[in-house]
Amino acid sequence: MSQIPQLMSGRALEHGISLMVDHGGKSSKKMHVISQANADVADGSALNNSTDETALASYTIPKNTLVAGSTIRIRAAGILSAHATGNATIQLKLDTSDTAIGSAESIATTGSTGSLNANDIYDFDSLIQVRTAGSSGTAVGVTNFSFETPTTAGEHSLKPSFTLDTTKDNIVQITGEFAAANAGNTLVNGIFVVDVVNPST
């Protein structure tokens, strides 16, 4: 079986499991499952009164963890707890830790959304599949997302092949950005769970 790097610097995953799963059939192959690599246990930092793109939640996947066939599952949700004026943009991003947040690869985005109201909720359910590993690795993704406005409810986004350097730390992020700074605008991420599954040979 292939060796799967630990996700938590050699320590056991908190609230996680690691096991070999026989998927049945005639094949002798099994999957090495690393479950719940991250689950935030508190709300993220609030974003308000700013037009800077800001990480609402993030998790770093250590370098050399991902291999060809790895999958990353992200579930995130948050709330526009207060809204005074202007549009807001929520994005799911994945890129190396040395990439500036504004330049990081966008997996899915709500776009600059208007017609917002206080207590509108956003939700991302995404699956990213690594196709090739290495410094020029590649991945694809699919995301279902919503932001409680008429223009973005229940949308789907397919992310075509993009470069993913698996030899470096990679950061999964939910980012938020307001079109106008106002002390009455507040975004808070409440749920952020990342699962990583690596195949075995």
Which domains are present in the chain? 18-199 (2.60.120)
pTM: 0.81
Residue 9 in this model has a pLDDT that exceeds 90 = no
Residue 144: the pLDDT is 94
| Confidence label for 37 from pLDDT (cuts 50, 70 and 90) | confident
152: pLDDT confidence band, cut at 50, 70 and 90?
Answer: low
Asked which of 22-26, 83-87, 145-149, 187-191 is least confident by mean pLDDT, the reply is 22-26
* pLDDT greater than 60 at residue 5: no
- Which band of pLDDT confidence, cut at 50, 70 and 90, is reported for residue 111? confident
- Higher-confidence residue: 94 or 33? 94
The number of residues making up the chain comes to 201
Q: Three-state SS string across the chain, please? A: CCCCCCCCCCCCCCCCCEEEEECCCCCCCEEEEEEEEEECCCCCCCEECCCCCEEEEEEEECCCCCCCCCEEEEEEEEEEEECCCCCEEEEEEEEECCCCHHHCCEEEECCCECCCCCCEEEEEEEEEEEEECCCCCEEEEEEEEEECCCCCCCEEEEEEEEECCCCCCEEEEEEEEECCCCCCCEEEEEEEEEEEEEECC
What is the per-residue pLDDT for 83? 92
Q: What is the pLDDT of residue 150?
A: 54
Per-residue pLDDT tens over the stretch 189-200: 999 999 999 987
With a pLDDT cut of 90, the percent of the chain lying above it is 69
Q: What is the pLDDT of residue 128?
A: 98
- Percent of residues, the chain, with pLDDT higher than 70: 79
